[in-house]
A = this chain, B = another copy of it.
Amino acid sequence: MYDEKYPSILLQNAVEAIGSLPGVGRRSALKLALYLLRQPEENVRHFTSSIDRLRSDVKYCSVCRMISDGDVCGICSDEKRDRKTICVVESVRDVMNIEKTRQYTGVYHVLGGIISPIDGTGPSDLTIDELAGRVSALVSEYPPEEVEVIFALSGEVEGETTAFYIYRKIAPFGIKVSTLARGLGYGADIDYADELTLGRSIMNRQIFKP
């Protein structure tokens, strides 16, 4: 009796690859693989090559480490943005979420993660030295009290640990350090906050008191 789960190893490989994506179950993966199989070959090539190109060709802004098509991202190269105010975030998605609120006119610094001993992420895996370098350059150009770093990190312990670690690095420069107003609940993830709440918590940011 024929007893294989998949009629083709090619189908099995594709389903397993698609099913490895977060939030995509085996059943959806099969549906998607069979959907792709029904599409014209050039559409499938376009689909896969757009993913390959994203992974291989994407650049990161040399200033803030945001995803960028050029050496400096659209935000850092925008002269209307306040370069003296740096919002520190964990990820690219956080920048996109904050930009959507249209409340914030400063610039960003993407850490590329958060300090998490459980996940094996330490300070040296993040762009903390680059952030300190930016602050150092700013205080050589402007009075320290005009320079501000805003922590827009998760309210969970990793976010607070990361903020505290960075605070100790940059506090000696005498700059203003603030953190998101917790209009959003403690422990809430930035990605799930509604735009109004997120926007207000940037506007009502509070002095960081460790």
Contacts and interface: CB of A to CB of B under 8 A. Distances in A.
Interface residues on A, range: 35 or more
Contact of A46 (B17, B44, B80): B17
A54 interface: yes
B21 A32 contact: yes
Interface stretch (A71-79, A119-127, A158-166, A182-190): A71-79
Nearest to A70: B8
B55 A51 contact: no
Chain A at the B interface: SS class: helix
Contact of A7 (B9, B50, B56, B96): B96
Given A22-B32, A35-B21, A91-B34, A54 B13 contact: yes
Contact of A13 (B22, B53, B93): B53
